[in-house]
Structure 1
Amino acid sequence: MEDLSDAAAFATRLKNTLIQYHSIEDDKWRVAKKTKDVTIWRKPSEEFNGYLFKAQGIVDDVVNSVINHIRPGPCRVDWDSLMTSLDILEQFEENCCVMRYTTAGQLWNIISPREFVDFSYTVGYKEGLLSCGISLDWNENRPEFVRGFNYPCGWFCVPLKDNPNQSLLTGYIQTDLRGMVPQSAVDTAMASTLISFYDDLRKTLQKA
């Protein structure tokens, strides 16, 4: 398991990795899926033999509200249709923790429920916020779940210049679901899951 004795340094390395992803040139990405409101791109990951996905869309709410719904906490399980449980295992500071969460089966349960243990960090970025995470090799395993692994991932949220009550939300996700799932099924599920993520988030924020 990672040494979290210096959580601040670990968090800074994670943040810098996400900022590096955020500066990848446009021509390195290929569109994986597109709707009227959201675009999903992908490129081969440098961390494992899957893809790094990039998602982007505009959300009708202020930055703090959007990130409060994404970061670990009670809001997240209430609206995220994929997430079935979330527990904070260790809290370092208000914006930094280790969480364990589980996800529902996908693609008619071809992809069975998964469990993740992630280090999560939320920090200011330019005029907005970045909430990022990475999986840890946590020792305690539960046999009813396949343990998935998130390589560095995160969500940048910044206010729109012409309307600060709207936010541009850009995510970077690279997940190794592990188990026996074909990579093509993972790629299909990931693009669709990210579209649903925006849809679920927008519906929740409209009700708030």
Structure 2
Amino acid sequence: MNPDLDLPQLLADPNLGPSNRKIKMEGLPNDVASFSIKLKNTLIQYHNIEDDKWRVAKKTKDVTVWRKPSEEFNGYLYKVQGVIDDIVNSVIDHIRPGPWRLDWDRLMTSLDILEHFEENCCVMRYTTAGQLWNIISPREFVDFSYTVGYEEGLLSCGVSLDWSETRPEFVRGYNHPCGWFCVPLKDNPNQSLLTGYIQTDLRGIIPQSAVDTAMASTLTNFYGDLRKALQNV
């Protein structure tokens, strides 16, 4: 690990997961450590997919979005990548569940931590705004989130849980394994390469073309909003 990252010991070792203490959280296996490691390894598999398997979905001057058919559901796995002008810790602190995310993410309308297992491991419930003139109505997600060291940087990953409690004003969406890899640029450690993998099943009755348009635009907007937030820190 790069000592300049000044990470807590818990995150410094990529093989160090949350404790094995038994929990009874709805939709979550008893062995949280094994669940976390499996999730991390799934994201690393996505990160190692060969370039020729991806098709460009949208490209701007500083962000590229690709997609390929998901192996988890009848939709797409999206990959998005761009350089962020800040250090790894700051970038991930703004992305993972915490007080900053709601301040800058225009799509997210609420975020509640339902259970904290360790500093880097929690279950959260969050809601998102309607999109495309409300063709896609507001959604709600209940996700397990895990942040861990990866190479010289960090990986913040998550997956939705089967959660029985619902609210009628939201459609329950489902995030298949997703996450953000953030590593310092080799020639400038004050800048970070941020690579995301997203495969969200929005559920409900939505034209696939609307989903594709919304996902590509949401991901490019995510980078723009994140950059603005980091400039104001």
**TM tier relative to shorter chain:** over 0.9
1:48 equivalent to 2:73? Answer: yes
**Which whole-Å CA distance do the structure 2 matches of 1:7 and 1:109 have between them?**
36
The equivalent of 2:17 in structure 1 is none
Q: Could you tell which deviates more after superposition, 152-161 or 176-185?
A: 176-185
**Structure 2 unaligned regions, length at least 5:** 1-25
1:4 equivalent to 2:29? Answer: yes
Across the aligned residues of Structure 1 and Structure 2, the Cα RMSD in angstroms comes to: 0.7
Residue 3 of structure 1 deviates from its aligned partner by 3.6
**Which whole-Å CA distance do the structure 2 matches of 1:18 and 1:2 have between them?**
20
Q: Which digits, 9 at most, give the CA deviation of each residue in 1:135-167, with x for residues without a partner? A: 001111111100000000000000000000000
SS of residue in 2 equivalent to 1:42: strand
What is the TM-score of this pair, normalised by structure 2? 0.88
**Which whole-Å CA distance do the structure 1 matches of 2:117 and 2:209 have between them?**
37
The equivalent of 1:184 in structure 2 is 209
Q: Could you tell which deviates more after superposition, 190-199 or 5-14?
A: 5-14
SS of residue in 1 equivalent to 2:100: helix
**Which whole-Å CA distance do the structure 2 matches of 1:38 and 1:108 have between them?**
24
Determine which of 54, 62, 80 is the counterpart of 1:37.
62
* Contact map agreement 2:28 2:161 (CA 8 A) in 1: no
1:109 equivalent to 2:134? Answer: yes
Q: Could you tell which deviates more after superposition, 151-160 or 176-185?
A: 176-185
SS of residue in 2 equivalent to 1:138: coil
Residue 189 of structure 1 deviates from its aligned partner by 0.3
The equivalent of 1:152 in structure 2 is 177
**Which whole-Å CA distance do the structure 2 matches of 1:2 and 1:75 have between them?**
26
1:171 equivalent to 2:192? Answer: no
**Which whole-Å CA distance do the structure 1 matches of 2:121 and 2:28 have between them?**
15
AA of the residue aligned to 1:199: G
**Which whole-Å CA distance do the structure 1 matches of 2:66 and 2:32 have between them?**
31
SS of residue in 2 equivalent to 1:108: coil
SS of residue in 1 equivalent to 2:189: strand
The equivalent of 2:98 in structure 1 is 73
**Structure 1 unaligned regions, length at least 5:** none
Determine which of 85, 101, 121 is the counterpart of 1:96.
121
Q: Number of aligned pairs?
A: 208
1:129 equivalent to 2:123? Answer: no
**Which whole-Å CA distance do the structure 1 matches of 2:161 and 2:206 have between them?**
21
Determine which of 26, 46, 50 is the counterpart of 1:25.
50
**Which whole-Å CA distance do the structure 2 matches of 1:207 and 1:140 have between them?**
37
**Which whole-Å CA distance do the structure 1 matches of 2:67 and 2:198 have between them?**
9
The equivalent of 2:227 in structure 1 is 202
Runs of 4+ aligned residues of structure 1 deviating over 2 Å after TM superposition are: 1-4
SS of residue in 1 equivalent to 2:91: helix
Q: Which digits, 9 at most, give the CA deviation of each residue in 1:34-79, with x for residues without a partner? A: 0000000000000000000000000000000000000001100010
Residue 10 of structure 1 deviates from its aligned partner by 0.5
Residue 2 of structure 1 deviates from its aligned partner by 3.2
- Structure having the higher strand fraction is 1
Residue 4 of structure 1 deviates from its aligned partner by 2.8
